[in-house]
Structures are given as structure tokens and as C-alpha cells.
Chain A
Amino acid sequence: MKHCDKCHVDVNTNQEYCPLCHQVLSGESEPDHKELYPDYIPMRREVLPLTKKVLLFMTIISILTLITVNLLTWNINNTLWSLIPIGSILYFWLIVRYGVLSKQNTAFKLFLLTTVLVMILNLIDRVYGAVETRGWALDYVTPLAFLACNLAISVIIWVRKINYRDYIFYLITIMVFSLIPIVLALTGIIKVVWPAVSALGAAVFILLFIIFFFPRSIKDEIKKRFHI
């Protein structure tokens, strides 16, 4: 026990200075005294690891190069073609950040990555696609990507039974998303119908399966997510 002559308080420590007035404390240090609170260990400021630094550096250099080349060759090809590789590079980072490094649940990762991918491919198709092939992203990719996502989440639920409640919400959302191609097919925007139908079919199949065999889970999930 040390003492501060200025504040007239005992201080339970081996430190040198009074925490109140920062004067030197009197009294001897007790060799076997343990501080009540732990010593400071510097928080490890997350310094980027070398691989990440290199990748980030390459990313920025490539993006700048792409934009420059695109602008310099504007009179040969007057489209913003550089946005396609740039978009792909950014998508790569999205996969690293949210797909690999994130601790979010797997269904959320799959759902997010699929949705963004579908959006990027649709944009590429709309903006840059040749006229004769236009529509491939909407016709094939969109419904089939959701179908794949749906199957993947179902497999995960099947394999890791414990967490199935966490994933149901995403299944329902995909179900809603799978309706979009069908609506587009009905309004004639989508020409090829079978991918849209099979995506919705799979979604409905999985949903019905859950409703029949885990009837309470869906009801509970909706109740929880939408309580006022």
C-alpha cells in the first residue's frame, strides 16, 4: 500500500504516481503485489498484411490503368468498356470481404454475393451486350443463380441442422426474388421461360418442405421478424 501525501489517500498499487494528482507516491513497493487491473498491452493496430497490401496496390493500379487506356482509346471504341473489368475487380473484393473474411452466417453471404453478381451481370448485358444476344442475364443467369443459391442454402441447412432457423429468412427472401423472373416472363420481357419456372419450382418445393415438416419454424420466424 502506498500513500499520497498531497491527497492524503492510500493507493493500492505498485505504480509510482498518484492517479489523482500525479505526484510521486511514498511507501515501498510490495514485491508480490498484483495490480487490480491489467497492464496496458498496446492494441494491435491492424497493419495490413503484405499480401493484402500487394493486392490492394495492384487493384488501384489496374483500375487507374484501365480508366486511362479507356479514355486514350476513346476515338477507336467510344464505350466505357473499362467498367466491366473494374466491376469484376470490385466484386472480387466483395467476395474477399464478405465471402471469406466475414463471420456473418453463410446464407447471408451467399445471398448477398448472388444478388450483387446478378445485378452486375444484368448491367453488363443491358449496357454492353450485342443486340442479338441481349437478355441472357435475365433469361438464364438470374433465375438459375437464385436456384443455385437456394439449393446451396438448403444443403447447408440439411448438413448443419442446428442453425436452420437462422437461414429460413433468406430462403423466404429468395422465394420472393424467384417470383421476379416469373413476373417478367408473364409480361413478356423474359423470352426463355424454363429457367424462371424451375427456379420458382425449386423455391416452392423447399418452402413447402419446410412448411410441412417444420411447420412452426416459419410461423415463428415471421412472428419474430415482424413483431411491432
Chain B
Amino acid sequence: MNDDMLLPVVLLGGLATYLIRYLPLAVCDRLKGRGVAPRLHRFLMALGPSAIAALLVLSLVDFLPMARLGQSTPKVAAALLAVFVLHRLTANPALATLAGAVTYGLTGWIGSL
């Protein structure tokens, strides 16, 4: 790897990423007092749940390869069930997350015995 190129690429890549995060935030913050059209408001308010749902699906795709669907599905299902149950019992996302991760690790370990 060319070390001379690394620093400018990293700095410009970081700047691009930062501006993508900052500029829309700054523009919308300036326009905040002017009111937002109801449709645009509904669009923005739905982005969060939509992003989380899509991130969930995309993060699960790697855990469920078509070639090993039979082996992977029970592990993933058990882990997701653990998240659901802990969420219902505690309403604490951190605990529910931990339960899902531990269940996934444990079912994999038990399966390998």
C-alpha cells in the first residue's frame, strides 16, 4: 500500500462522510421553525423504523446462507426469540440484546459438541 496516499484519502473520505451527516442536519435545523409539510413529516418520522427494520434484515442475511439454511435457522430463531422474550419481560434493549447474543453463541457451541 502507498503510505503517501493513505493520509489524503483518509482525510477526504472522512470529510465526505462527515459532510453527508452534517449538511442535511444543519439545513433542516435552520428550516425547523418554518414548519414541515405533513407528508414530509410522515416521511421523516418513518425513516427511523424503516432503517432499523432494513438493518435488521440486512444483518440477518449473512447469518442465513441458503446453502446452510437448515443448520443456521434454529440458531438464529432461538436468538431472536430470546430477544423477544427478554424485551417482553424487561423492556430493556441492552438486556434483550445480550440475551440474543448469548443464546446465539450457546446454541452454536451446543451444536458443535
- Do A and B actually bind? no
Residues of A within 8 A of B (CB): none
Residues of B within 8 A of A (CB): none
